[in-house]
Amino acid sequence: MHNIKRVIFSVDSKKNNPLIDDTPIQVGCELVIPDKYKVNHPLCIVSHGSGGLGSDTDLFVNSLARYGIATLYVDSFTGRDIDNLAWSDILSSYVSPKMRAYETYQAYKYLQEHNFPHLNLDKVACIGFSWGADSIANLMAHWGDELPNDTFYALAYGNLWPFEEQFYKGKEHDITLYHGADDTWTSPDKGKIFAQETDSEFVEFWGCYHGFCKPGYDNHSVGEVIVNHNAPFPIPTELPEVYKWIKQGKIWEDTDFKKVDAVMSYDDLATQRIVSDIIARLT
């Protein structure tokens, strides 16, 4: 691993969805090339969850590097002066998945516009964890036509609820959803709806909880977190409609915010399944 090359750069973004806060900001990005003396590395885009960059990002960067796969990840929090999304009070630190998808696309576009012979930008996969899965789903829905047609989208324990109209674009793409059957933070049942509506593959891991790709967690209690999978959103539902209710203190019409006790726990077998699927697509 001595030949690794790291390239750090930044791209323009907005602080949030224009309906919330469209202040211009810069977000940091890092490209990790496994071997600086070789060319045509395939690329995996990694999107972190609501806790920010962490052990899950490191695991995928290091695991994929062993197979000659470069990684690109975007730090969506530092440029916004936040450390994580406070799910006990989400209104205080919300970041739109579509805005995160936009800055991820901007990072990919940066690689296209600058000469990186190390990369094969026609061979791409994406992995998103939790809130990052929502961001990768939005990348597919809004900028998927700008990525290679055979890009693989891996969505690990994402919220993906409500199901948005743009997600139907998933029928044109290679998507697999991965979820723990015992996840109470994000709902496997709502993930199954996404899979059914987009003709995507759904992989469910029995005995697995939220965050199973994040080493260092063993049945760790997160405490009470806000969820929205109790809301009876129509299929599809547009987010501007949801925002209107949130401003009134509701999730949807007469549906109140709900809190659940969430648990995170790493599972190596489940994680390696996703790693293996990415390697199979890119090598």
Nearest by Cα to 280 from 42, 35, 33, 118: 42
**CA neighbor of 161 nearest in space, from 218, 211, 234:** 234
pLDDT, position 103: 93
Give 29's contacts (C-beta < 8 A, 6+ positions apart): 8, 9, 10, 11, 72, 73, 74, 75, 107, 110
Q: Answer whether 129's CB lies under 8 Å from 157's CB.
A: yes
| pLDDT higher than 80, residue 17 | no
pLDDT in tens, 64-122: 999 999 999 999 888 887 776 665 455 555 678 998 999 999 999 999 999 899 999 99
CA distances from 78 to 17, 150, 201, 250 (A): 17, 31, 33, 29
Of the candidates 149, 129, 163, the one whose C-alpha atom is nearest the C-alpha of residue 236 is 163
The C-alpha atoms of residue 156 and residue 144 are separated, in whole angstroms, by: 18
Pairing of strands 174-180, 201-205: parallel
State residue 76's pLDDT score.
87
Yes or no: say if 260 and 153 are a contact pair by the CB < 8 Å rule.
no
* Cα angle, residue 96 at apex, residues 101 and 247 outer, rounded to 5°: 160
Q: Is the pLDDT at 261 greater than 90, yes or no?
A: yes
pLDDT computed for residue 18 by the predictor = 57
Please report the pLDDT score of residue 163 as a whole number: 98
Residue 89 has what pLDDT?
52
User: 243 versus 106: which is more confidently predicted?
Assistant: 106
Residue 247, CA distances (Å) to 35, 74, 95, 185 in order: 49, 29, 15, 22
Q: How high is the mean pLDDT of the chain?
A: 92
CA distance 27 to 175: 26
Quickly list DSSP for 255-283: BPPEEEEEEE---HHHHHHHHHHHHHHH-
Compute the distance between CA of residue 236 and CA of residue 160 in angstroms, rounded to an integer: 11
Per-residue confidence (pLDDT) for residue 32, from 0 to 100: 97
What is the C-alpha to C-alpha distance for residues 145 and 203, in angstroms, rounded to an integer?
25
pLDDT tens-digit readout, 160-188 = 999 999 999 999 999 999 999 999 999 99
| Alpha carbons 267 and 265: distance in angstroms, whole number | 7
Q: Are 37 and 2 in contact (CB under 8 A)?
A: no
What pLDDT shows up at residue 42?
Answer: 98
Place of tokens 């700008």: 146
User: In the chain, count of helices (H) and strands (E)?
Assistant: 6, 10
In angstroms, the Cα distances linking 204 to 102, 209, 210, 260, 279 are 29, 11, 12, 21, 20
Is the bond into 232 cis (omega within 30 degrees of 0)?
no
Residue 61 and residue 69: Cα distance in Å, rounded? 8
